[in-house]
Amino acid sequence: MFNLSSLVQKAQSFIDPTQALNISASDRNPAKSTLFRHQFRLPDSQTPLQEITAELTITPPVAYSPNATQGEKDKDRDRGYHYAGKLHLSESYLCFSTQPTSFLQTASTSTSSGFTGQTHGAGPGGNGFTLPLCAIRRVERLHSQSYQFALSITTWNGLSNHTNHESSKVPILQQKITIQLAGTRQACERFCDGLKKGLKSGVGEVGKLKRVVSECYSEYLLQGEGRKENRSKMRLWGEYLRDYGRNVTLIRQPTFHKLIRVGLPNRLRGEIWEQTSGSLFLRLESPTLYADTLAKFEGRDSLAIDEIEKDLNRSLPEYPGFQSEEGIGRLRRVLTAYSWINEEVGYCQAMNIVVAALLIYMSESQAFFLLSTLCDRLLPGYYSTTMYGTLLDQRVFESLVEKTMPILWDHLVKSDVQLSVVSLPWFLSLYINSMPLVFAFRVLDVFFLEGPKVLFQVGLAILRINGEELLDAPDDGAFISVLKSYFSKLDESAHPKSENAKLRAVTRFQELMVVAFKEFAGITQSSITEQRMKHKDNVLNSIESFAKRTSIRNLGPDSKRLSVDELGALYDRFYTVLYERQQRSQIILEETERRAKASRARATEVVNGLAENQIIEKGRVGLGPSPTLMDYDGFREFLAGIARWAITDSPSPPEKENAADRQNHSYFGNSVRRRETSLSPWGYGNPEPANHEFMQRLFQRWDVDMNSALTLQNVVTGLAHIKGKDNIMGSITYFFELYDDDGDGKVDREGILRISEALLFLSRRGLEGSLTPSSSMTGLSEYEAGNGGQLDPLQGSTNERFLSSVSAFIRRCFEYADPDHPQNQEDDASATNGHADSNAFGIGEDSDDEDEDLLDLGTEASPKKNKNFTGLGGGPPASGGPDSKSLGQRSASKAQSEAANAALDPSKPLHITLPTFRMVVLADELLEQFFESSFPASFRISDKMTTPGPSSSGSSLTTFSNIGFGRQNPPQNGIVSAGAAGGVVPPSKGLRGVLDNIVTDGMRVAAEVKRRMDEAQKEMEKNAVNKPDEDEDEDEAYDNPRTPGGERRSNVRSEDRDLLEGADAEAMSMRGQEGVVSEIKGNTLSPTAAIDAGRSRSVSGASQKIVEFEQ
């Protein structure tokens, strides 16, 4: 595993410059462009355009001599250093490294198929350079016998505008490198063409470059303007920078790596940090971003700013620079600016310490970009709101300790010592407040060049060096104090008693560095990545379970009405929906882009190397800020997961998507399967949610903050009010309020119709709770088994009964409604009288009788009923006779019928109040049960319904498509295509089937409402006019159940016919409910229609008819 050293040159054998890691799913297979950027520490804007094997030759610079002969030039090339490696070209950079990359050259930018895992993107390791194209002054193609393609590159280095050629005492040294390309002629030509293009577009950037490097001390150091330090370290660096380039033009060679290990001179520290970490390239990309950000957000407030303010005085308090207002101001500005450009991270304690340390050696702008590089790449997830990166790396560190120092690890476990209490600050604040600053900076020097693995190596070395003493430490206290005293003696000799003076001179810190990088050379970016992948899930899970606990606890008093299990399940469901929706929209977005791209020219392919995989896991709670708001579509999906009425009956046909995908086979090859399955907006295998007005009302009701979005709190409160209401009155009130739009305690005619629609919508898959225990349970089990076969007769009857109940509900609502206008005072009075006469308390009893009747009728009728329906064709929509009968009984009072008559008159607006609504509901046992148990129970929070998780939802999709809600299934086994086990009305063929389809789209309600109105009016008309004889004709018509709809309708009054035709037509085409409902109100409720229709029927006749009809 730790065999990297065999792969690279000896000079760098113990260097595995590493990269940051994103712990996304893509980590095992990172995109090539990501690896490329990490390898060369380039901004995200860069993608690998070209790469070619090449040999780099570096000659010590010579005084510029344009007249050098070809022979001299060749000789130059023979001198100097030669490195074999790969030359890469991106949009604005030319990069060379001897370090093998992790990606195959053949891999395309956005895919990871070519991931070799070697260095996992490494870092600016190996020997080579990362050269902005704008820093190249000239490229010459050399023609010589030995090299087909050799490029001589001259940089701006040495020709900067700081120097006047004539007057400068220092000889003008020109930086020149030679690169020989190795490849086919064609490949070399292609590379050179690309380079030419890049150079052209880089010309405009030269000014920017000069401005940026002017902040680098090296510019002044070499121009003799800076004070030269006499120390040998500075001299060595000065020579190196002179010979091999400085800042952007710096070429990494073995000496460079060594010099860094030895420690940077203070003056150069800042610029080498930004060069090796790559933050220099970020700054080059947008030199004014820091100042712009500060200007843009000046005067604005944020939580992060409050948090920053609290810590400003508490950053490196022992360092005098940060006790002054000036120093604190610098710190404030850098932290604040960063909190604005990365609001997800904002500010995390420890950033103050790190930035304070950076500011000792850097300008504010430099520190700002370096902080950005730290957060995004070097310390991924460390400072995030969940700090998952910190926790993960602690876990990784522990596992590395266990691996490399098993005895010590055993001791820690046995004595229950919490390692992270010491090691966590090492990582989080980069050793800055753990060891004396001078030494912490030395660690940082290497860290920025070699990457995060350095933190691990140093940490392991600390434990290794102190191993003996730590083994004697019995508890946390002793453990910590051993380390503390070690850190305080880092400057002392590591071998104070040695005879050997040289050995005696070795400090403990030097020893630490040697142990870290020699003994733990095997700790590479790859091995760390591997460990991170291994522990990632555990860490995220524990963060998420903590977040869940906290979040549930904070849900407020309403949540107490739900059980802890229910809250947990709600939490999961809520965030699963949000998370999955985000994933899906991401995938769909990518797919769209992919398609768009595929249809565009190939040439643009590179533009969006899009780090798609990096985003893929975003939204996971453990990773930090994730969506917390659920929009209406999310809410629908959420409901579909907990309530089966919220699943649509007419899912959009999947064929379309498949077809679309099939067309794209050629583009996407193997990936098609995945795409195909994920393209549905509701996710593969998830049931498509319904979109009923009731759901919109529920959403609005729950959206108490009027955000058009729900928080978990909203959802919990909303559900707590439905499920947590043990009393039926609460449920009824809740429902009523849903439809009392203006909150005036009244629901008008429209509202009554909508309520009844909602009741049918909610019950169309059967009722839950304990209605008729056997039936509802059967319905459920069939439903869950996806049993599209036979319909339980009992179930059918319950459903039919509910239908009747709803129709009775409408009728009663109108019967007992109050008129709206004062001029109807009289009517109002008489209605109230009617109320009193018929005895409000008696209604319950009435309905009891009625239900008994119903039950009898139901059991009698149902065995044959379905068969009848099957062959029925155009029979009247449903049975409702018993209600009519009881209505007849009850509506005998004249006063009452007058009141009801008035109620039906659309010219006289009416409404029901909550007491009326309550009374009407309680008048019907089924409705009562609905509100008491089945409505609250229809929200199944903790017991699985369709198990909406992606894992098991595949089967539920099958179930739904098999059930074929909203479609016409052919009859099975010659009986009835009952399909909708648990449905109110089984779909079957003929008009009945058509009607069922109507119902599924809300049309059934309209038809039902219409029919009820029709009946009610007839009843009343009958009472008023009382012409029993005409019943006989009607009976005949009804007696012929097989009469097709059209003929059947010939017996209906013309107004009604129009209506029915209208309804049918709409059912077939528009499927809109609004139109029909209003039509009903317009036509059916007109007084003439009521009178005409009413004349034709009698009470007894009506109920009898039904029985006959059902036989």
Query: Which amino acid type is present at position 1104?
Result: Q
Say whether residue 328 binds other proteins (CB under 8 A). Answer: no
- Least distance from other proteins to the Cβ atom of residue 532, Å: 17
- Candidates 538, 422, 411, 546; CA nearest to 477 is 422
- 630 within 8 A of 638, measured Cβ to Cβ: yes
Contact between 428 and other proteins (CB under 8 A)? yes
With CB under 8 A, what is the number of residues at the site for other proteins? 48
Give the C-alpha distances (Å, rounded to integers) separating 237 from 229, 233, 245, 246: 11, 6, 11, 10
> Residue 386 interacts with other proteins (CB under 8 A)?
yes
With CB under 8 A as the contact rule, the residue among 384, 583, 870, 933 that binds other proteins is 384
* Minimal distance, residue 599 CB to other proteins, in Å: 44
Instruction: For residue 492, give Cα distances in angstroms to 244, 438, 465, 507.
Output: 35, 13, 14, 5
The region of 74-82, 342-350, 462-470, 895-903 touching other proteins under the rule CB under 8 A is 342-350
In whole angstroms, what is the distance from residue 65 CA to residue 69 CA?
A: 9
Among 105, 108, 152, 385, contact with other proteins (rule: CB under 8 A): 385
For the bound state, the minimum distance from the C-beta of residue 424 to other proteins, rounded and expressed in Å, comes to 4
| 3-class DSSP state of 177 | strand
- CB 472, min distance to other proteins, A: 15
Question: Closest CB to other proteins among 549 and 662?
Answer: 549
- 582: contact with other proteins by CB under 8 A: no
Instruction: Name residues contacting other proteins, limited to 252-311 (CB under 8 A).
Output: 307, 311
Residue 553 found at the interface with other proteins (CB under 8 A): yes
CB neighbours of residue 1068 within 10 Å: 12
Q: Which of 736, 730, 805 is nearest to 767 (CA)?
A: 805
Please report whether residue 420 would count as binding other proteins according to CB under 8 A: yes
The residue to which tokens 């059934």 are assigned: 1004
- Angle at the Cα of 565 from the Cα atoms of 560 and 567, rounded to 5 degrees: 50
Q: Does 559 contact other proteins by CB under 8 A?
A: no
Q: Are 578 and 634 in contact (CB under 8 A)?
A: yes
Please identify, using beta-carbon distances, which residue of 42 and 473 lies nearer to other proteins. 473
Closest CA to 513 of 585, 438, 574: 438
Residue 488 touching other proteins (CB under 8 A): yes
Q: Is 148 in the site for other proteins (CB under 8 A)?
A: no
Q: Which of 82, 546, 894, 915 binds other proteins (CB under 8 A)?
A: 546
Residue from 424, 523, 710, 927 in contact with other proteins (CB under 8 A) = 424
Distance, in Å, from the CA atom of 815 to the CA atom of 840, rounded to the nearest integer, reads 12
By CB under 8 A, residue 429 contacts other proteins: yes
When the beta carbons of 484 and 864 are compared against other proteins, the nearer one is 484
Residue 391 engages other proteins in binding (rule: CB under 8 A): yes
If one asks whether residue 416 binds other proteins (CB under 8 A), the answer comes out as yes
Is 324 among the residues that bind other proteins (CB under 8 A)?
no
Closer Cβ to other proteins, 64 or 487, answer by number: 487
Q: Which member of 98, 178, 180, 315 binds other proteins (CB under 8 A)?
A: 315
Beta-carbon neighbour count of residue 356 at 10 Å? Answer: 28
Select from 797, 915, 900, 940 the least CA-distant residue to 856: 797
Is 207 a binding residue for other proteins by CB under 8 A? The answer is: no
The Cα 822–Cα 825 span in angstroms is 5
Which segment (294-302, 429-437, 588-596, 721-729) binds other proteins by CB under 8 A? 429-437
Q: Tell me the per-residue interface mask from 349 to 368 with other proteins, x by CB under 8 A, - otherwise.
A: xx-xx---------------
Nearer to other proteins, 425 or 627 (CB): 425
Q: Between residues 8 and 348, which has the closer beta carbon with respect to other proteins? A: 348
**Residue 93 φ then ψ, to 5°:** -135, 145
Burial class (CB in 10 A: 0-12, 13-18, 19+), 670: exposed
Write down the least CB distance from residue 266 to other proteins, Å: 22
By CB under 8 A, residue 201 contacts other proteins: no
For the chain, how long is the longest CA-to-CA vector?
Answer: 131
Give the residue with the Cβ less far from other proteins, 383 or 935: 383
Give which of 926, 631, 974, 587 is closest to 776, Cα–Cα: 926
Query: Are the beta carbons of 869 and 875 closer than 8 angstroms?
Result: yes
DSSP label of 884? H
Residue 88 phi/psi, 5° resolution?
-120, 150
Interface pick for other proteins out of 52, 250, 422, 753 (rule CB under 8 A): 422
Distance between CA atoms of 349 and 782, rounded to whole angstroms?
56
Options 390, 524, 614, 956; binder of other proteins; rule CB under 8 A: 390
For the bound state, the minimum distance from the C-beta of residue 510 to other proteins, rounded and expressed in Å, comes to 22
Of 205, 344, 476, 657, the residue at the interface with other proteins (CB under 8 A) is: 476
| Whether 179 contacts 150, CB under 8 Å | yes
**337 phi/psi in degrees, rounded to 5:** -60, -40
Give the amino acid at 759. L
Position 621 contacts other proteins (CB under 8 A) = no
Which residue has tokens 């500010």?
Answer: 347
Shortest separation between residue 382's beta carbon and other proteins, angstroms: 11
Residue 1081 backbone phi and psi in degrees, to 5: -65, -35
Which of residues 434, 711, 713, 787 is near other proteins by CB under 8 A?
434
CA dist 112 and 24 (Å) reads 13
Of residues 394 and 680, the one with the C-beta less far from other proteins = 394
Q: Does position 344 bind other proteins by CB under 8 A?
A: no
Give the C-alpha distances (Å, rounded to integers) separating 864 from 102, 365, 766, 799, 860. 73, 84, 20, 15, 8
The distance of closest approach from Cβ of residue 353 to other proteins in the complex, given in angstroms and rounded to an integer, is 7
Shortest distance in whole angstroms from residue 376 CB to other proteins: 17
CB half-sphere exposure, 1090, CA atoms < 13 A: 24
Q: Which two tokens stand for residue 378?
A: 């070097």
CB of 550 to other proteins, least distance (A): 7
Rounded to whole angstroms, how far apart are CA atoms 814 and 1081? 13
Minimal distance, residue 656 CB to other proteins, in Å = 44
Nearest distance from residue 422's CB to other proteins, in Å?
A: 6
Nearer residue to other proteins within complex by CB, 224 or 317: 317
Site stretch for other proteins (CB under 8 A), options 315-323, 530-538, 805-813, 953-961: 315-323
Q: Which of 166, 298, 301, 318 contacts other proteins by CB under 8 A?
A: 318
Alpha-carbon distance of 919 to 55, in angstroms, equals 92
Instruction: Pick the closer one to other proteins by CB: 556 or 915.
Output: 556
Q: Residue 184 interacts with other proteins (CB under 8 A)?
A: no
Where does this chain touch other proteins (CB under 8 A) — which range of 380-388, 724-732, 1007-1015, 1018-1026? 380-388
Write the DSSP symbol of residue 952.
T
| Alpha carbon 251 to chain centroid, angstroms | 42
493 binds other proteins (CB under 8 A): no
User: Minimum CB separation from other proteins for residue 583, in Å?
Assistant: 23
CA distance 787 to 980: 8
Work out whether 538 is an interface residue with other proteins (CB under 8 A).
no
Distances (CA, A) of 729 to 133, 183, 735: 76, 84, 10
In the list 20, 284, 543, 577, the residue contacting other proteins (rule: CB under 8 A) is 543
Q: By CB under 8 A, name the binding residues for other proteins.
A: 307, 311, 313-318, 348-350, 352-353, 384-387, 390-391, 416, 418, 420-422, 424-425, 428-429, 433-434, 475-478, 480-481, 483-485, 488, 542-543, 546-547, 549-550, 553-554
